[in-house]
Amino acid sequence: MAAATAAAEKTTMRAWLYSTVRNGIENSLELNETTAARPPWPPAKNNSQQVLVKVHFASLNPVDYKLAELGLMARAMISVPASPGLDFSGVVAAVAAGAEEGDYKVGDRVFGRLDPTRFGALGEYVVADREGLAKIPSSSLEEQQQLQAYSCIGTAGLTAYQCIAPNVTPGRGDRVFINGGSGGTGTFGIQIAKKALGCYVVASCSTANVELCRRLGADFVIDYKTQDVTAVLRELASAPPGGDGSSSGGKFKLVVDNVGLSPADLYTAADDFLDAATGKFVQVAGGFTLTDAKAMLSRSLLPGFLGGGRRSFSYLMVKNRRADLERLGAWVAEGKIEAVIDGDGADDGDKVFDNAVVAFRKLKTGRVKGKVVVRVAKEAAVGAE
């Protein structure tokens, strides 16, 4: 309880802050050791839905820099100076008054996802809403490995789950194509579709990541460096189904596009390989430029007779759902899915808190396998102080 009191009464914390991103967030972040304002705690009166968490690990997502670099639109959403980062794992440091009995207690190991906020995961403490938070279940992983792995689930895990789970029938062998299988969302998506939900999975990636996608469970991998993605999908869809009614041939039930506009004709071409009656095309990734917005609108609004696609199209906006986080957490504990961490999770200098800028530079190259993780807590041992 003393640790909780100390955490709740802190008036400053270490945090990476940006006030401008004119030259890119990686060139604008500054590590503030002593004067960064802490997240508001205790929360507003009558708000029993918030939990103060001491962050041990944060994992980065493209949205962390894309949102910050939106300019005036970003400033309208998030005041500066601000700390980036949505996904985290750590230890409960304090719980709002009026919380449900037995819900969370100080010292619980937790993971979660923040909605875009001024006080992100690249700071010592975050204030998490209960719907974006879940307890880390017991597993065979060593404590630090566990915290590191669960920090990856947030945005990428929820996005993959919410794209796939509502659109397939578990155990039926539905055919799923995942465009962009080696990034954070893609690596979770392959495993969720194949290992947790029993789908037949085709994924695309670069030559360097083909074996990774196969190891994660992809039944067929398209190397976009050497193959025409849409041509291969048409060929697969025109092949006769396997003996079990699914497997190697037949139209797809679901396409998940984690890349956005590459290949540019993926949605219109889906008329040839996505099932006309039940097939769905779910768009995840996309930039924030005017060109990106126009392309997304054409996918969703342009009718087929004017050159648009004819299959069901939706754009996923990920939502914090505690039940989804708990399901994903259980699958990790059971070994059904794993967090793929760039650099094999080694604490090799670019992953420590002091070098978060290097982590952002790596993320912005677009050549990341899985998730980029930053160790936020200084100490090796888990604690709430």
CA 121 to CA 25: how far, in whole Å? 15
Are 223 and 300 in the same domain? yes
Looking at residue 288, what is its pLDDT? 56
The predicted structure's pLDDT at residue 4: 55
In a shared domain, residues 69 and 212: no
CATH number at residue 179: 3.40.50.720
Looking at the fold, whether 191 and 55 belong to one and the same domain comes out as: no
Q: Is residue 311 part of a domain?
A: yes
Domain count along the chain: 2
pLDDT at 344: 57
In terms of domains, do 165 and 273 share one? yes
Instruction: Please tell me the predicted confidence (pLDDT) of residue 304.
Output: 53
| Intervals of the chain under pLDDT 70 | 1-10, 35-38, 45-46, 72, 98-102, 242-248, 285-310, 344-351, 379-385
**Residue 382, domain member (yes or no):** no
What pLDDT shows up at residue 77?
Answer: 78
Do 8 and 141 reside in the same domain of the chain? yes
> For the domain that residue 96 is a member of, what is the CATH number?
3.90.180.10
Domain that holds residue 356: 2-152+340-375
Indicate whether 72 and 133 sit together in one domain. Answer: yes
Residue 33 lies in a domain: yes
In a domain, 330, yes or no: no
Q: Residue 191: its pLDDT value, please?
A: 99
pLDDT at 176: 98
Whether residue 335 is contained in a domain is answered as no
Same domain, 178 and 280: yes
259: Cα separation from own chain's centroid: 13
Q: DSSP letters of 201-265?
A: EEEEE-GGGHHHHHHHT-SEEEETTTS-HHHHHHHHHHSPP-TTSSTTSS-BSEEEESSSSSSTT
If asked whether residues 120 and 51 sit together in one domain, one would say yes
pLDDT of residue 381: 46
Whether 239 and 271 map to the same domain: the answer is yes
pLDDT tens-digit readout, 216-258: 999 999 999 999 999 999 999 998 876 544 555 799 999 999 9
Instruction: Tell me what pLDDT residue 384 has.
Output: 47
- Is 384 within the bounds of a domain? no
Residues 163 and 148 reside in one and the same domain: no
CB 111 within 8 A of CB 81: no
Q: Is residue 130 part of a domain?
A: yes
360, 85 contact by CB (below 8 A): no
Query: Nearest 5 degrees, angle CA 259-CA 263-CA 268?
Result: 110
Same domain, 148 and 161: no
69 located within any domain = yes
- Based on the fold, state whether residues 175 and 103 are members of the same structural domain: no
DSSP letters of 299-336?
HHHS-GGGT---SEEEE------HHHHHHHHHHHHHTS
Model confidence, pTM? 0.90
Structure-token pair, residue 130: 């209960």
User: What are the Cα distances from residue 143, in Å, to 4, 20, 146?
Assistant: 21, 36, 5
